[in-house]
Amino acid sequence: MNHFLDIHKTDPDALEAMIAAADRMKAARGDRPRGAPDDEQPLAGRMVALIFEKPSTRTRVSFDVGVRQMGGQSMILSGTDMQLGHGETISDTARVLSRYVDLIMIRTFDESVLAELADHATVPVINGLTDRSHPCQIMADILTFRELRGPIAGRKVVWSGDGNNVCASFLHAAAQFGFDLTFTGPVQLDPEAEFVGLARKAGRTVEIDRDPARAVAGADLVVTDTWVSMHDSQSNRERRHNMLRPYQVNAALMEAAGPQALFMHCLPAHRGEEVTSEVMDGPQSVVFDEAENRLHAQKAIMRWCLDV
């Protein structure tokens, strides 16, 4: 069963094959209209369930469009549409959905929901995001970097801000794709020690530097994410802003990184908070390339899961 649950749980050769497949499928589409089908229709006759306990723009649209481009059909389900873990156990939901669909993607809060769904499903399950990781986003980021700078192996990635779920998946990817990562942010928001240790055990250099200008020196890639969640209280928002303000990605920080450094953000961005509009719209920013590449990377992931 080819579940795609986390980057560090997926064989490095399989990850490389997915990136290569995404690149090929993107090139094969050329300039055709977005709604036009791919020449290959590997998902013809297949049904994909897309479950969203968390709201989404990019994940929802990119998976839905990707399924359709490859000839399949998608069924979009929200948390309010289902009894996931409430009126029905997650394991029972997994067994039932497996009788109806060929593939399940879930975007949820608690990692345990994803794990239990995968344990009991008899079809592949894809992690569309949990509070602990976001592997599909990082696959798109790796694809984007490769398009513009070549392989990411041996490069320096700097994460500035909150060591959150996206940062965690970058650490997973450091171990599997062979790059080094420097985290710069407040000590209260350091990435999980388990994931730092995982990358170091794989032979990668992972550094924590509280000085953002020093941390980004010589970076090939600078990455950040939002400082606050949509569910945070006003008091928590203010506290986090105060902690994270020194780690804003602005023109001065990108100048300290150097002209070779790309800037990435998984979006949505709070312009003027974690990143300035000058950087978002500047020549080093590739945020909209990343957003597009969610489509191509996820198509490759779905094909790998279904072995088609």
Which residues are identified as catalytic?
107, 134, 137, 225, 266, 294
Angle at 6 between CA 18 and CA 176, to 5 degrees: 65
Under DSSP, is residue 255 helix (H, G, I), strand (E, B) or coil?
helix
For the chain, the helix, strand and coil percentages under 3-state DSSP, each to the nearest 5: 50, 15, 35
* Whole-number Å distance between alpha carbons of 199 and 220: 18
CA distances (Å), 1 to each of 5, 71, 123, 130, in order?
12, 22, 7, 21
Residue bearing tokens 């979009």? 76
* Whole-number Å distance between alpha carbons of 146 and 290: 11
* Whole-number Å distance between alpha carbons of 247 and 231: 22
* Phi, psi for 27 (deg, rounded to 5): -65, -35
DSSP state of 303: H
Q: Show Cβ contacts of residue 181 under 8 Å, excluding neighbours closer than 6 positions.
A: 156, 157, 158, 159, 170, 171, 174, 199, 204, 205, 206, 207
* Whole-number Å distance between alpha carbons of 256 and 271: 20
Task: Give the length of the chain.
Answer: 308
Strands 221-224 and 262-265: parallel
